[in-house]
Structure 1
């Protein structure tokens, strides 16, 4: 696959994945098309070497794996981890607001979102809806309005002359999106709006909408930008970019070695959930794959996890926010992320493995260490390492504007990381 084809398909995946639910649905569809078998956690599993499987939890986390032909206790499992969630605005349970003749929805800020970029965007709404049908059965389905249905207008600078120097955003007061104009005595019913939209989607047998998990998103599609189109701009690059790269790499696995991709939800809010990296999902899957505890521990000792989550590229307008010797450049290769306080799980051995793989496939590699006087974010890497006990490395594609509603990466880096992860999955020996 050429870099151009890779980026074209990546943009299609990003556009089809406005929420973790949609991302998992899209990944499951691609896995089924490639011959992977869907497992149900409620069923008894009979796993066969040479076959390929996947399982989902909460519709928002997914683990796909190849049961390789090599003995697990000698070859181990090559693992790649990413996360499906991104900072966003989530609709509250009782969201209806009527203020000054406008119908708005109350929202919660999910994760560490940059709020200013959400103003003056064409917003739509997507997620999961749970309802009772006409026969009294509880069901859930995905919903996506697709078209722009809301906006968060900025306050004009004439009414706030210090907007460019002192304006702060109060998420309770300033963030509720505007959906339409109504009369002051109107009593909008948001669940009624959802029921009507489900009917338009072809789901007509809805007796009552019971609940939902819905997020606003920017409808502007992914795009190649720049005079030479060497940048990729899109929402949710953090971290659907890594989900896509990991998925493509797994699809390219030759089946000799056992390998696995886990994409967890809830990383942006701490990972502590049944389907998050701090939850038991991966550990439980490994226990079902290798029921004998001693054999499982031997296999884990021969295994390695590459946690893939975006890295901070050095910003030309804010270069002083980086350590002088550790400023990753866009389109200059994947980034090894290092932190002495274990905010990243990289150590010298796992880093050496990654550098060796990069050399073998002729991909440049970079390193990131945060400034010593600044705090450092984290990933699923340290969490997975501590929960499972697997040797772990943190890497990522360099990007700008992390946690904005529109982020920026390079057209070469994603394909290059894909080449390295494919080599990782297919290498005869890693450790």
Structure 2
């Protein structure tokens, strides 16, 4: 395994939820000399320095104020998101059915639900509680070991399971985690108390107030294929992009202005305080460049790359792709194009990125949906519209997107990173914006 993929796998393991992903990024940026700012503090920013801010533990913005550029010279901006489709535990989750303890779940985003059955699942997320010493705590927990499963109904009871089976989100998805008649089995609240005591030495919970908990697969990331040419893992969409952007940002030239934005809630529409339709990125730019005219001049000189996984051509369903735009694993970063602006790419932004990739020695591919199929979207159009900046959408080619376990090429994450690292050290966008 390459060093790059080893670091990606470590990040995926450390990031079972958006809260864990942002905590991992926070620790990484601190290790590399970024200063941690808080939105409710007074800021005193200096040229040549790097900073980061988190919002509600699930979104992050890191930026560098270049010591050889003015603020009106614009910023090199990379965006990604911290969330992935899945199953979120309901606030009052307890229930029993025919001798089994179960948890009520709500579908988060648009997961491929069939892939969640018969998997070894665990729980992770954020809990708010009061400890026995009277202190209020917000803690991240991860059970890590398998404690849940959603059994499939045997084909003997559903003869159409392989032909026309639909999944009822309320009825079919509650996982089981214990036998109800087992005197030793614990309820969810007791399980949370025990896990907090295991993870946080000395913490004794008095009362649990609320939580944001998600189900997740316990199978670890892996290289597969006869020549290790594939990566199989959960949450590649979009932690693969988040990891590539963070590594590029850490290595970025301190002489240049750069910004890395990780939003939450992309998978369910981005409409939140931590989502791309919220105020986070605009409010941060207003503090970096308080003067409105200078800020607008900076936007006009900026360039944004929205990074989110792209669809690769499925070998068993080639007719789902446009016949002239097949996307292959390990053959280069996919530039995503849509005439109706579901992606923010246009001819100028695409040309700029292709030139950047030429400098980096990275090949590109172009993805367009079939004209008779609806197209997904990213935070690219929303963010570029908020800021008024030239932008495009790109991503690492992926199979099984929104499955509990997705697939990409073993070369694709590093190819994406190389293009982003080159972007943060390049002036190509400035040269072309002046034409």
Kept after mapping to 1: 8 A contact 2:356/2:428: no
Alpha-carbon deviation of 1:190?
A: 2.2
**Residue aligning to 1:210:** 209
C-alpha distance after superposition, 1:90-113 (max 9, x if no partner): 000100011111001000000011
Question: Given the alignment of the two structures, is residue 105 of structure 1 paired with residue 130 of structure 2, yes or no?
Answer: no
Kept after mapping to 1: 8 A contact 2:321/2:370: yes
Question: Given the alignment of the two structures, is residue 23 of structure 1 paired with residue 21 of structure 2, yes or no?
Answer: yes
Kept after mapping to 2: 8 A contact 1:192/1:209: no
Alpha-carbon deviation of 1:134?
A: 3.1
Q: How does 1:309-324 map to 2 (within 5 A)?
A: 309-324=308-323
Alpha-carbon deviation of 1:188?
A: 6.2
Which whole-Å CA distance do the structure 1 matches of 2:401 and 2:409 have between them?
A: 13
Kept after mapping to 2: 8 A contact 1:103/1:188: no
Alpha-carbon deviation of 1:203?
A: 5.0
SS of the residue 2:386 aligns to? helix
Kept after mapping to 2: 8 A contact 1:60/1:265: yes
Q: Runs of 5+ in structure 1 lacking a partner? A: none
**Residue aligning to 1:59:** 57
SS of the residue 1:212 aligns to? strand
Kept after mapping to 2: 8 A contact 1:363/1:416: yes
Which whole-Å CA distance do the structure 2 matches of 1:271 and 1:70 have between them?
A: 35
Please give the root-mean-square deviation of Cα atoms over the aligned residues, in Å.
1.5
2:176 to 175, 178, 181: 178
**Residue aligning to 2:5:** 7
1:78 to 76, 85, 88: 76
C-alpha distance after superposition, 1:146-167 (max 9, x if no partner): 0001111111112212210021
Q: Runs of 5+ in structure 2 lacking a partner? A: 431-435
SS of the residue 1:166 aligns to? coil
Which whole-Å CA distance do the structure 1 matches of 2:407 and 2:280 have between them?
A: 31
State the TM-score, normalized to the length of structure 2.
0.96
Kept after mapping to 2: 8 A contact 1:75/1:429: no
Alpha-carbon deviation of 1:186?
A: 11
Alpha-carbon deviation of 1:70?
A: 2.8
**Residue aligning to 1:195:** 193
**Residue aligning to 1:129:** 127
State the TM-score, normalized to the length of structure 1.
0.97
Kept after mapping to 1: 8 A contact 2:356/2:423: yes
SS of the residue 2:170 aligns to? helix
**Residue aligning to 2:433:** none
Which whole-Å CA distance do the structure 2 matches of 1:163 and 1:99 have between them?
A: 22
Q: How does 1:15-414 map to 2 (within 5 A)?
A: 15-183=13-181, 189-201=187-199, 202=201, 204-414=203-413
Which whole-Å CA distance do the structure 2 matches of 1:303 and 1:349 have between them?
A: 13
Which whole-Å CA distance do the structure 2 matches of 1:310 and 1:285 have between them?
A: 26
Alpha-carbon deviation of 1:45?
A: 0.6
Kept after mapping to 2: 8 A contact 1:100/1:184: no
SS of the residue 1:373 aligns to? coil
Alpha-carbon deviation of 1:429?
A: 4.5
SS of the residue 2:162 aligns to? helix
Kept after mapping to 2: 8 A contact 1:345/1:385: yes
